[in-house]
């Protein structure tokens, strides 16, 4: 699934999409230096375009950074859908697959993950991030409801989905901050996800 995401990214890059080239360049710099340490001019250099080129697509650096975050959420959505396509039609494996994508994305792209999890600079950016993030979270709602044989997203589904999201979100930060790895270098992440998934999805969970 990560390979498919990389193919999609390269397809956009090689088809002459200047905006996508700049977003990819900014993503690489954020991964290397962090969001506060890269400049628009550096992104231009990496993308091999003129320093005037970005301003046909972005008003400023903040808009470019937002585009990187939204691109990350979109790619995460692709990866989740790819994982679901490969999973059984029913069962806990589907929920675990989504959780594994979330954790793997954080480990593979900690800079973009932190950007997505951080606060947006203004109301419009927050709205865009919220809308894009909800598409991914809706997949969790859908799979929790499927597992419970429910036809609607009720309060019980939302509660369990929030428990699952809270766990994988916290685990992701512990891993990329080297908090879990130092304490337990042999952590079985997949086994951990399954154990937590089984507990959250038990019939007596409230």
Contacts of 183 (CB under 8 A, 6+ apart): none
Two tokens, residue 161: 């989905």
In tens, the pLDDT along 172-196 reads 999 999 887 655 667 889 999 999 9
State in Å, rounded, how far the first CA of the chain is from the last one.
33
pLDDT reported for residue 144: 98
Question: How many of the other CB atoms lie within 10 Å of CB of 6?
Answer: 11
Length of the chain in residues, anyone? 206
Structure-token match 């990866």, residue found: 79
H or E stretch covering 98: helix 92-108
pLDDT reported for residue 51: 83
Q: Which pTM value belongs to this model?
A: 0.85
**CB contact at 8 A, 111 and 74:** no
Q: What is the CATH number of domain 2-200?
A: 1.10.357.10
């Amino acid at each position: 699934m990560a390979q498919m995401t990389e193919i999609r990214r390269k397809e956009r890059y090689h088809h002459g999409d200047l905006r996508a080239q700049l977003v990819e360049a900014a993503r690489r710099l954020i991964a290397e230096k962090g969001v506060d340490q890269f400049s628009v001019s550096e992104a231009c250099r990496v993308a091999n375009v003129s320093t005037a080129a970005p301003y046909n697509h972005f008003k400023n650096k903040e808009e470019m950074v937002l585009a990187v975050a939204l691109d990350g959420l979109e790619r995460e959505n692709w990866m989740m859908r790819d994982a679901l396509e490969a999973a059984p039609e029913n069962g806990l494996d589907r929920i675990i697959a989504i959780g594994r994508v979330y954790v793997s994305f954080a480990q593979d792209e900690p800079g973009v993950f932190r950007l997505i999890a951080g606060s947006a600079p203004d109301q419009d950016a927050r709205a865009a991030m919220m809308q894009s993030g909800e598409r991914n979270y809706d997949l969790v709602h859908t799979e929790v409801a499927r597992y419970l044989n429910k036809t609607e997203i009720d309060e019980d589904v939302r509660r369990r989905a929030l428990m699952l999201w809270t766990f994988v979100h916290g685990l992701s930060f512990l891993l990329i901050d080297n908090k879990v790895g130092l304490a337990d270098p042999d952590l079985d992440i997949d086994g951990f996800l399954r154990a937590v998934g089984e507990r959250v999805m038990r019939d007596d969970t409230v």
